[in-house]
Amino acid sequence: MTTDAAQAGRPTRLGFEKIDILWISEGMSCDGDSVAMTAASQPAIEDIALGLVPGLPKVTLHNKVLSPSLGGEHFLAPFRAAAAGDLAPFILVIEGSIPNQNVIEGDGYWTSFGNDPQSGEPLTVNWWIDRLAPRAWAVVAAGTCATYGGIHAMAGNPTGCMGLADYLGWDFRSAGGLPIVNVPGCPIQPDNFMETLTWVLNHAAGSAPPPPLDQMLRPQWLFGKTVHEGCDRAAYYEQADFAKDYNSPKCQVKVGCWGPVVNCDVPKRGWMGGVGGCPNVGGICIGCTMPGFPDKFMPFMDQPPGGSMSSLINKPYGAFIRRMRAITNDTVNKEPRWRHKEPVLTSGYNPRWRP
């Protein structure tokens, strides 16, 4: 690291003036999280990179999808510098599941990122994580593949894939003293990720405490409630008024929605600009933000276990509530009888002084 670079990245009285974000999407992944992030608006990734968000350190983003770099060694340079201990501070973002290289006998690898300059052999994602994670000021897992393994880690897979916390250890702490920050989603809800990253950057600037995380290392304020609790269709469940097909605006539990047991804020937040989100547009929740995804939510589009029992128990209660509310609704949809133009006032008005 040069003297200028060292001083630019040094901590000030409050925090860092400058920080790099090293984003590796070469885990077992489809790059969908990088693509989803481009739709964020609270804030937009462009606003972070251009320094338009007050109070944050100057950010240099290194992401193969979003980078203006020419690629190749020019793009890899900051990653190599960080692995050698010559770049600090930086935030490491991992996208994609982490394969188990130990199950491979002999030569070969599951996924790689660049080549060894000496041998020319591919450098595995595991090699990079082993060297970058302990030096990173913060480590963020983007998407369900990186957080918990996701699709690539489902039963029967040959790769031994896992989430970042399974690989580094759930008690891992970064150089900044932070646990791994998990932002699940298949892909990530763009504003969920950018809001979390902004919190981490505010913490790096010294203007915010560490982000509060739950026991699965998810941001509490985003994943503290279920899909069902934020769903516009939830009242239909309470009234045992269930959809029989996907064209219905009613509760979709009986056609396969897992919303009552899935931690996600998409029904409230929407997908892009507050619009969309699975149940909001007639899609069932398949639990893509959850550690047990996909295995514990399959087969998709079948009523979840317990769904039949809960809906059966709810049926008499819901029917009664629905009928009582219909009666009340009919009552409150009528004006009081004293609103008329007859010559006699019938509102019950009783003047204190009579002429």
| Cβ–Cβ under 8 Å, residues 180 and 148 | no
Q: Is pLDDT at 18 greater than 80 in this prediction? A: yes
Q: Which residues, in sequence order, are CB contacts of 311 under 8 Å at separation 6+? A: 240, 242, 253, 254
pLDDT at 3: 37
Given pLDDT bands bounded at 50, 70 and 90, which one contains residue 307?
A: low
The residue type of 235 is A
Given the structure tokens 């996208």, which residue do they identify?
95
Given pLDDT bands bounded at 50, 70 and 90, which one contains residue 23?
A: very high
Least confident of 63-72, 99-108, 250-259, 336-345: 63-72
Q: Taking the CA atoms of 244, 246, 248 and 253 in sequence, report the sign of the dihedral they define.
A: positive
Given pLDDT bands bounded at 50, 70 and 90, which one contains residue 12?
A: very low
| Cβ–Cβ under 8 Å, residues 95 and 103 | no
Query: Which structure tokens are listed for 195?
Result: 């809001």
pLDDT tens digits along 173-221:
999 999 999 999 999 999 999 999 999 999 999 999 999 999 999 999 9
Least confident of 6-10, 307-311, 313-317: 6-10
Q: What is the mean pLDDT of the chain?
A: 89
pLDDT tens digits along 124-174:
999 999 999 999 999 999 999 999 999 999 999 999 999 999 999 999 999
Helices (H), the chain: 3-9, 32-37, 45-49, 72-83, 125-132, 144-148, 164-168, 190-204, 220-223, 234-238, 266-269, 307-332
Domains 3-223 and 225-333 share a fold: no
Query: Which structure tokens are listed for 200?
Result: 């981490």
Measured from the Cβ of residue 41, the count of other Cβ atoms closer than 10 Å reads 14
Q: Cα–Cα distance between 312 and 291 in angstroms, integer?
A: 28
189 vs 106: which has the higher pLDDT: 189
pLDDT at 105: 76
Q: What is the CATH number of domain 225-333?
A: 4.10.480.10
Asked, as a colleague might, if the bond just before 187 is cis with ω within 30 of 0, I would say yes
Least confident of 68-77, 110-119, 138-147: 68-77
One-character DSSP codes across 122-178:
EEEHHHHHHHHGGG-SEEEEESHHHHH-GGGGSTT-SS--B-HHHHH-TT---TTSP
pLDDT at 330: 84
Q: Is pLDDT at 5 greater than 80 in this prediction? A: no
| Cβ–Cβ under 8 Å, residues 287 and 296 | yes
What homologous superfamily is domain 3-223 in, according to CATH? NADH:ubiquinone oxidoreductase-like, 20kDa subunit (3.40.50.700)
pLDDT tens digits along 317-346:
667 777 787 788 788 888 888 888 888 888
For the chain, the structural domain boundaries read: 3-223, 225-333
Specify which residues 242 forms β-bridges with: 251
- Total-model pTM: 0.84
Q: Cα–Cα distance between 161 and 166 in angstroms, integer?
A: 9
Q: Is pLDDT at 53 greater than 90 in this prediction? A: yes
Q: Please, what is the Cα angle at 138 between 174 and 204, to 5 degrees?
A: 120
Measured from the Cβ of residue 94, the count of other Cβ atoms closer than 10 Å reads 33
66 vs 95: which has the higher pLDDT: 95
